[in-house]
Amino acid sequence: MRVLVATDLSDAGLLSIEALIGCNPELFDGVMLVHAIELDHYMAGGSITEAIEWSEKRLAEEAATLGGAGFTTDFRVEQGMAVEVVQSVAADIDADLIVVTDRGKGGAAGRILGSTAERIAQAGECPVLVVRVEERDAAWCRLGEGSPFAHPLVAADLDETLERIAKVAGRLPGVETARILHVAAPGADVEQAHAFIDAVIMRTPLRGAEVVVVESKDPAEVIAAESQAAGASLIVLAPRRHGLIGRLVFGSVALSLLRESRVPLLFA
């Protein structure tokens, strides 16, 4: 698996790199660290040359840390808007996964980074892992321990996205157990939902995974609660990326989880 880690080099942003330390490096083909220098952010604080030199030094330090943990690592500093830079580099290295940090709900800085994480997740041509962090005693900490890939909870819709995200979840490095959750509307045919999911996942690496169907009017709340109850290390879901209706679906479920979830999110 080739992984691109996008970081703004803040204390919170660097925790996306920490998330990989708990993983088995032998399961990765390489890790590319990327930092985007957005000109409007840097012009007031010094020259672009100084910003690039400082950024390269910091990324080199983080690459050395990952290298010491057994990962094959490289880094790049690019000028441009963060989302565009991330997508360009991901395509250039044929990345299998993009990793980015999100602060969730909180102050202005958290909303800015959260917006970037959201746009990367929506625009991504490959899966995007959003690592959750929070501030404790004036220091940023990653939510969760160990590998984020060990115990995925797949939030399943009864449509064509299920097979895709189940395949993505099943191919994550170091999966130990997996659970599939569908939140059905009240009064829905639960047995039919089970049968549909069972038939689809038979074509994926998750065949045999536990399937749970829950009736509720609030999918985001159920998904978050089930992830905690099941000890999930990760929630896997499919954002809708196209048109106004897609934006509303992403906002109603995926964005709620992006702001409220206590575990990482993988948008596949």
pLDDT for position 245: 37
pLDDT for position 262: 84
The yes-or-no answer to whether 2-142 and 152-263 have a common fold is: yes
Q: Kindly tell me if the per-residue pLDDT of 263 is higher than 70.
A: yes
The pLDDT tens digits for 77-115 are: 999 988 899 999 999 999 999 999 876 544 333 333 446
Measured distance CA(135)–CA(121) in Å, rounded: 23
- Tell me the CA end-to-end span of the chain in Å, nearest whole number: 15
Measured distance CA(186)–CA(190) in Å, rounded: 10
Question: Closest Cα partner for 3 from 137, 165, 131?
Answer: 131
Alpha helices in 124-242 (DSSP H): 161-170, 190-201, 219-229
The pLDDT tens digits for 1-51 are: 999 999 989 888 888 888 898 899 999 999 999 999 877 654 555 578 888
Please tell me the least confidently modeled range out of 7-16, 56-65, 215-224. Answer: 7-16
**CATH number, span 152-263:** 3.40.50.620
The top-level CATH class assigned to 2-142 is alpha beta
Domain boundaries, the chain: 2-142, 152-263
